[in-house]
Amino acid sequence: MLWNLSAVTRILQDERPSVVEVDCAYFLGRVAAEALRFGSVPIVGFYHVHLPTFIARPGVRRFGSAVSRATERLAWQYVRYCNRHCDRLIVTSRDIHERLTAEGFTKLDYVPLGVNLDLFRPGANGNGSPVTLLYVGRLSREKDLDVLVDAFKLLASRGDYRLNIVGEGPLRGRLERQAAGDSRIAFLGSLEYGQDLAKVYAGADVFTLPSPNETFNLAVLEALASGIPVVG
């Protein structure tokens, strides 16, 4: 985003928006500042990634809890910096609302996510032979998919299991190497929102989400609406 700031400025100049909604936890403050240059434009932030957990959690494993706590406090300061221009900040879970409130955030709106119940609904789910696990989402570091692949290999050594991974991202090549040609792990790529995606949910027995960094995950709602249990 920083290297595209000039492009963002041009778009704002051309569009002259009535409201600016920003969905980026990292550079929201810079974009908001650009929007403010064009008058009293309300700025609404969408709290998509909980940065303190995302940054601090890996530090526990690498540097110990003391360094992790210090990193978490710095992350909170940065979150405040990023959101200082927001007129409102939308959060999608009560847990995140409570965390932000405890840290002094006041301009919060809790807006729970919805799901298309006409598209995602219980049907003929997997028949349990093999037991089909499903992940749907971005293939990136914060999702902890390396943990999922390792855990699946351990699970699959004890029974008949399959793992379907739907999505694209910078971690795909690394995950494919980690899977090492295991035929029980299938990378299905990116599927368009619609019947194809709904069929993948319907063919699964269990949905899995290893990431600890979610503020809320829409794929979880889609899985539950499809009648399959969710394991985090």
Which tens digit of pLDDT belongs to each residue from 175-206? 999 998 799 999 999 999 999 999 999 999 99
Q: Which amino acid is at 150?
A: D
Please report the pLDDT score of residue 7 as a whole number.
Answer: 76
Contact 178, 199 (CB under 8 A): no
Please report the pLDDT score of residue 147 as a whole number.
Answer: 94
φ and ψ of 102, to 5 deg: -65, -25
Please report the pLDDT score of residue 214 as a whole number.
Answer: 76
Please report the pLDDT score of residue 25 as a whole number.
Answer: 55
Separation between Cα atoms, residue 51 and residue 61, nearest integer Å? 17
φ and ψ of 216, to 5 deg: -170, 150
Structural domains in the chain, sorted by start:
2-110 (no CATH), 131-231 (3.40.50.2000)
pLDDT by position in tens, the chain (length 232):
455 667 777 777 788 888 888 876 566 666 666 666 656 778 888 888 887 877 766 555 555 577 777 888 888 888 888 888 788 999 999 999 999 999 999 999 999 989 999 999 987 666 667 999 999 999 998 898 999 999 999 999 999 999 999 999 999 999 999 998 799 999 999 999 999 999 999 999 999 999 877 778 899 999 999 999 999 8
Tell me the pLDDT tens digit for each residue of 200-226.
Answer: 999 999 999 998 777 788 999 999 999
Contact 159, 131 (CB under 8 A): yes
Please report the pLDDT score of residue 78 as a whole number.
Answer: 84
